[in-house]
Amino acid sequence: MRTPGRNVLRELRQEVERRENLLVALWAVSQAVSRRLGEALARALLRLVNHLAGVGHLHQPRQTEGAPGHVLDHTLDARLIARRQPHRLIDAKTAVFPGPHVLDDYVRPVREHLYAGLDYQNKMARFLENHDEPRAAATFSPEVHEAASVITFLSPGLRFFRQGELEGRTKRISPHLGRGPNEPINDRIEKFYQRVLTVLPQNSVRIDRWQLLECAPAWKDNWTNDCFLAFTWEDDGGDRLLTIVNYAPNQSQCYVRLPFNELQETRWQLVDLLGDAEYIRDGNDLQERGLYRDATPLQRSVFFLSSDL
């Protein structure tokens, strides 16, 4: 996944500025062809190219941190979901006798990755699959697929969806091919992504007021609070989204500490935008202890918060 090199864009700009017709190289099947574009179309093409995000194909943190900001707009984030390590993939159906070891295998690496500042995270291109990897629907169980998607695409940064991912395609094909096999649509995955895509356009998910939240123990010696990943988005109009994922193959409980100061003396409605759940919670309790969650394995929710007047 690469954009045209800077020298190519520079030549394109110079060509347009000279008010000459633009000769564009194309490929038709296996034969090189070219097409001459007029000035108006060439200028439109230049404007389109200038709006494309420059994505650096870097995977190592040192490369990302050392990359000049004027060269790279975004960097592929290959570390958020460790798909290259099969032993870390969660399978809720086969998990037996879960224990604190799941934290080191699944949750902590993801949480620690999200500790980075927003100036770093906003440069990340988040993805679950690309042409170098097996398909997500072929790699993950549906439960893991959905939980990992919520963490990935509700985090800050550029969201990158591969062709066929939203329909649950399982066949990996070369990006050089212009076609692929006919595959049945995975109804569950398609309906899930339809809901995700209704959340992403909201203003609160497009601005930088994102915050990772603390998940406190529900009671003494209950380690499962560390199985949760929770964060909020908030826009200037006061709209708030609360994302909570139990990223573990076991039932988990916690109190999610909310960062809002005006919760008291009001009842609050929480509507899950990825499901059918709706709750009414007392603002004083939310302010003092947080939102209590008792979640099934890999349960994921994105709540819209509003005062219940």
Q: Which CATH class is domain 210-307?
A: mainly beta
Question: String of b and e for 287-303 (b: at least 16 CB within 10 Å)?
Answer: beebbebebebbbbbbb
Q: Domain ranges for the chain, please list them.
A: 6-50, 55-205, 210-307
- HSE-up of 216 (CA within 13 Å, CB side)? 12
Distance in angstroms (rounded) separating the CA atoms of residues 274 and 307: 20
Instruction: Kindly state the average pLDDT of the residues 32-50.
Output: 57
CATH label, 55-205, candidates 3.40.50.10800, 1.10.260.40, 3.40.50.300, 3.20.20.80 = 3.20.20.80
pLDDT of residue 43: 61
pLDDT of residue 69: 42
Distance in angstroms (rounded) separating the CA atoms of residues 30 and 39: 28
Distance in angstroms (rounded) separating the CA atoms of residues 165 and 118: 27
Domains 55-205 and 210-307 share a fold: no
pLDDT of residue 251: 94
Distance in angstroms (rounded) separating the CA atoms of residues 1 and 54: 10
The tens digit of pLDDT for each residue in 200-234 reads 887 666 655 899 999 999 999 999 999 999 999 98
∠ Cα 132 133 134 (to 5°): 140
From residue 5, how far is each of 49, 52, 105 by CA, in Å?
A: 11, 12, 38
> How many other β-carbons are positioned within 10 Å of the β-carbon of residue 141?
17
Instruction: Kindly state the average pLDDT of the residues 291-296.
Output: 96
The tens digit of pLDDT for each residue in 63-120 reads 444 444 433 566 777 777 654 344 444 544 444 344 454 555 668 888 888 898 888 8
